[in-house]
Structure 1
Amino acid sequence: MPVLKKVLLAIFAALLSAAPAIAAEITDVTGRKVEIELPAKRILLGEARQIHIAAALKGERVFDTIVGWRDDLVKKDPDSYAGYLERFPAIEKLPRFGYVPSGDFSLEAAIALKPDIITLNLEAAEAAEESGFIDKAAAAGIAVIFLDFRVDPAANSEKSVAILGRLFGAEATAKEFIGWRRAQIAIVTERLAKAGDITRPKVFIERSPGITGEVACCRTFGPANFGEMVEMAGGHNIGSDVITATFGDLNPEQLVVANPDHVIVTGSNWSAESDLNQFVAVGRGADPAAARERLKGLMQRPAFSSLDAVKSGAVHAVWHQFYGAPYEFVPIQQFAKWFHPALFADLDPERTFREFHEKFLPVTYRPGYFVSLSDGGE
């Protein structure tokens, strides 16, 4: 019986793969309407970190239709790349591309792969338009689709997941993904709403310190992205008081005057491109002791030494790549636990992320996405 079942499943899979594509229209996050055949048979990911979503939609078969991708996963998120390489060794030979706004994306090499679709992030839209990239791709029969998980995730993350669901022929899984994500965020937001008038701690979240140049201060987030996650978790993002864009800068004096109750820095393994190597390497399988030492070092900068958060040990690091994938439910849960430990004593963000891996992803979970100075008895 098991043999017969395997044969039937193989026949069913073959029939699915042989099913004709259906002409359809997709509206991307820029509002462009694109005529394509779905599901796409050959997809080029203009940002490889979109694999975090694609893999949740397609699981073990995620690379069946991916013919190339940008080189950013290897450079900016090598720990995640290692996890996918371990599970899918053939991706080492998958063609890699540069970044459209930097002018180092070879459209000629992309055309040679004959993709149906090139997916790009919203940040690349202006450069793609001005350079004629979209028109040149269209002339070669390639549709360009813009997605967004960074600039305005509240408006575009779910829409982008749904688009990828259609491109990969995984609409049902996309809906399940979106529903699961909403439910995990609601654990925090609904409990905060029921708690009523709570005190919101002041939070400064610093974007990728220690990656390049001098150890300066203070690149941060406005009301979107990590700034919004802080607010949803019951904190007050001090960056939103002065910055209206997704990203911006505070000067050290503004930080000292604000005197936040919590400091959070974003970090990742940027060893492939950092000229400073003082970043906090958190992420899949990261060493918490090493990350904590880096975090402690960053707090020795002049602007930080007098802050109440540093004195009390309320200093944390979060995996930077959460800012570009619709996995916001994980940092929102962790932030809530940091900001309101009594209210969220039963919440286990690590267990949440492990369950997500087991339910959706083809790679195994390994901890290391967060660290706090207080964890080391500071």
Structure 2
Amino acid sequence: MKHLHTLLAASALSLLSAGHALAEKVSITDITGREVEVETPVKRVILGEGRQVFFTAVLETEDPFARVVGWRDDLKEADPDSYAAYVAKFPKAAEIPSFGGFKEGTFDIEQAVSLKPDVMILNLEAKAATDEAGYEEKLAKVGIPIVYVDFREDPFKNTPKSMQIMGQLYGKEARAAEFNAFFTAQLAKVTDVIAAHPEVARPLTFVERAGGYSEDCCMSFGNANFGEMVELAGGSNMATPFIPGTFGTVNAEQIIASNPDVVIVTGGSWEAYVPGGDWVGVAPGADTEVARKKLAALMQRPGFTGVKAVSTGDVHAIWHQFYNNPYSFVAVQQIAKWLHPDLFADLDPEATFKELHSRFLPVDYRPGYWVSLK
């Protein structure tokens, strides 16, 4: 019996040592270049934005919420269709403690501390607000490191890096590498073709950001984000000369003067933000006929009167959330298909998105992410 007790004690000690060996403090370089000490693999994570589930789902497909102890409350309102799909499959997601945004100043640092996270994941665009409020130092004092990732400011440079960072944090390096290989190969299906045809004319393309969300005309993108997507897809982004940064506004008179060949409106189901608004509700499972009618109505505004794209029907709407998640390459494929239908006759962005879902995501693919007037 004594020998058995000795064996059990030795086994317990061995298991305990193995557990400690699995978790180790490592230095991770986040997307800003900061060196951050984190004990990995992390077990308790705060997501600084609810839409970050778009990448935790890739890494931990069996349960994207397994390590999430807190998250920002934006997904339910910004993308209710995706939120509903995830909560239907993972009901506990609806019970995860949530908090407000950093930019809005509604983040509760005491709540964050009470959740005892190993790490807080923040998007790069939150850094200015966190710097101003001194959150990095305040959280560091209570042992909570912040790691920044980016899928919005410079998505085609930073998405693979950000997925690699998350792979390190989660101990899912191989899974992150598998996704990054898919991302790169699918993006190349567009960029390689465009590079091989330098003689092809680049249609002048105006991207309206969240068209119909407000009565103002018209929010758009400079040479980054959707503006860069247009360029990668073989177009010329109309707003680049007028918007020095990523986001900005172009007035209606400029749209008429520029006379774009193609118009693309980003949209989503924004009933929570703008009830009964004119926004185009493209999203997973969207009613595309309703979306098409709303898109056509937006083209009746003064800024689009007589514009070439409207005359030819070369007007499209696409899911706004492509602007801030790892699936941006799908949007590039679809934009390329709109801009150069002959060059990309064999490209099937919907098949690409279906494959992404089947290989990397726990929720089923539902069409409705884009619609055209043609």
TM more than 0.5: yes
8 Å Cα contact 1:23/1:38 also seen in 2: yes
Deviations 1:202-236 (Å, cap 9, x if unpaired)?
00000012123xx2211110111000000111111
**2:161 paired with 1:159:** yes
SS at match of 2:36: strand
Q: Secondary structure at the match of 1:155?
A: helix
CA-CA distance at 1:19 after TM superposition: 5.7
The residue type paired with residue 253 of structure 1 is E
1:189 aligns with 2:191: yes
**Matched residues in 1 for 2:312 and 2:244: separation?**
29
The range that moved more, 152-161 or 328-337, is 152-161
What TM-score, normalized by structure 2, do the two folds share?
A: 0.93
Aligned to 1:120, the other structure's residue is in SS state strand
Q: 2:204 aligns with which of 177, 195, 202?
A: 202
For structure 2, the residue ranges without an aligned partner over 5 or more in a row are 1-16
Higher alpha-carbon Rg: 2
Alignment coverage as a number of residue pairs: 359
Distance between the aligned counterparts of 2:364 and 2:51, measured in 1?
17
Shift of 1:158: 1.5
Aligned to 2:270, what secondary structure does the other structure show?
Answer: coil
- Distance across 2 between alignment mates of 1:16 and 1:93: 32
Show the counterpart of 2:10.
none
Q: Which runs of 4+ in 1 moved over 3 A?
A: 15-19
Cα deviation 1:251-298 (Å, max 9, x = unaligned): 111111110000000001111111561100101100000101111111
CA distance in 1, matches of 2:73, 2:28: 26
Mapping for residues 1-378 of structure 1, pairs under 5 Å: 20-212=22-214, 215-274=215-274, 277-374=277-374
Distance 1:253 1:194 in 2: 36
Percent of aligned positions with the same letter in both sequences?
A: 51
Tell me the secondary structure at the aligned position of residue 202 of structure 2.
coil
CA distance in 1, matches of 2:45, 2:367: 30
Alpha-carbon distance in structure 2 between the residues aligned to 1:235 and 1:106: 43
Preserved contact between residue 211 and residue 275 of structure 1 (Cα < 8 Å): no
Q: SS of the counterpart of 1:60?
A: coil
3-state DSSP class of the match of 1:239?
A: coil
Instruction: Give the secondary structure class of the aligned counterpart of 2:212.
Output: coil
Contact 1:264 1:318 in 2 (8 A): yes
Letter in 1 for 2:201: T
Once residues 324 and 279 of structure 1 are traced to their aligned partners in structure 2, the CA distance between those partners, rounded to angstroms, is 18
Q: Which residue type is aligned with residue 320 of structure 2?
A: H
What's the TM-score, normalizing by structure 1? 0.92
* 1:263 partner SS: strand
Report the alpha carbon displacement of residue 176 of structure 1 after superposing the two structures with TM. 0.8
- What is the deviation of 1:196? 3.3
SS at match of 1:85: helix
SS in 1 for 2:62: helix
**RMSD between aligned residues:** 1.6
Aligned twin of 1:11: none
In 2, the alpha carbon distance for the partners of 1:129 and 1:60 equals: 35
